[in-house]
Amino acid sequence: MMIQNLNKIERQRRIKEYILRDPFLSDKKLAELFNFSVQTIRLDRLEMGIPEMRKRIIKVAKETSLADQVKSLKRDEIIGELIDIELGKSGIAILKTVKSMAFNRTGIIRSHYIFSLADSLAISIIDAKVALTGIARLRYKIPVYTGQTLVAKARVAQKKGNKYLVSVHVKSNHEEVFTGKLVIFSFNDKVKKKEV
C-alpha cells in the first residue's frame, strides 16, 4: 500500500508511527511506502531523532533480553552484543572494535578479540547449562582495524550426543575477516569446581 500526497509534518508523523510498529523497516522500504526518495525519508528520520535501522535493531535486541535466553553463559560473559539467537541452532552478535583492542603500532585488532566474539557466540547458542570449546579450527582472512564493527554469525552444523560442530563466520563491511569451526561439548549438570 503506497501513501501519497502528505505534507512534511504529516509524513513525519506517519513515518514515526510505522517505525514504532515495526522498528525493522528500512529507509528504502519507507521510501516505497510513502513514495518519496530514500534521502527524504532519511532526512525526516534524522530530524525526528530516530536512529538508523541497525541501531534500532540493536535497541530491540537489548530490550528483548536475548542474553537472558542463553543458558551456558552469564550476560557479562558474552563478548559483543547478541542480535539474534535460536538456542541449539544459530545466533548473530556484533562487536564494535576500539583502540584498546588493537596493537598500538598498526591499529590492527588483536586476534583474541575476534576469536572471543566467535567463541562466545558459539557457546551461547548451545542449549545447555555448561558448554565448553573442545576443538577449534580457525582462519583469519584479513586484518581488522580499530573502529570497524564485526558481525558474527554462528550456526550448529552438526550435533552428535553432547558434541556440537558450530560454524562461525565474522564479517566487517560485508567482507569475511574470520571463519571458524568449533567443536563445543555440552554438559547439562554443573561441572564441579576443582580445588587448587
Answer yes or no: are the C-beta atoms of 25 and 41 closer than 8 Å: no
Say whether pTM exceeds 0.95: no
Task: Give the per-residue pLDDT at 35.
Answer: 86
In the block, cell 588483536 appears at: 110
The last residue of one of the domains, among 17, 37, 60, is: 60
At position 4, the amino acid (one-letter code) is Q
What CATH number should be reported for the domain holding residue 87? 3.10.129.10
Instruction: Please say whether the beta carbons of 127 and 71 come within 8 A.
Output: yes
Separation between Cα atoms, residue 99 and residue 109, nearest integer Å: 8
**Which of 81-95, 97-111, 175-189 is modeled with the greatest confidence?**
97-111
Q: Are residues 51 and 76 in the same domain?
A: no
Pick the last residue of a domain from 42, 60, 78.
Answer: 60
Q: Are residues 48 and 127 in the same domain?
A: no
Look up the CATH number of the domain holding residue 19. 1.10.10.10
Mind listing the pLDDT tens digit for each residue in 126-142? 988 999 999 999 999 99
For the chain, how many structural domains are there in total?
2
What HEC string does 105-136 produce? Answer: CCCEECHHHHHHHHHHHHHHCCCCCEEEEEEE
What would the grid cell of residue 90 be?
Answer: 544459530
Same domain (yes/no): 52, 144: no
Q: What is the pLDDT of residues 103-120, one digit of tens each?
A: 999 999 999 999 999 999
**Quick check: is 166 in a domain?**
yes
Query: In terms of domains, do 40 and 120 share one?
Result: no
Domain assignment of residue 89, yes or no:
yes
Co-location of 55 and 77 in the same domain: no
- Residue (of 139, 135, 124) closest to 176 by Cα position: 139
Mean pLDDT over each residue of the chain, to the nearest integer: 87
Note down the domain range covering 97. Answer: 69-187
DSSP state of 145: B
More confident: 1 or 183: 183
Residue 164 pLDDT = 96
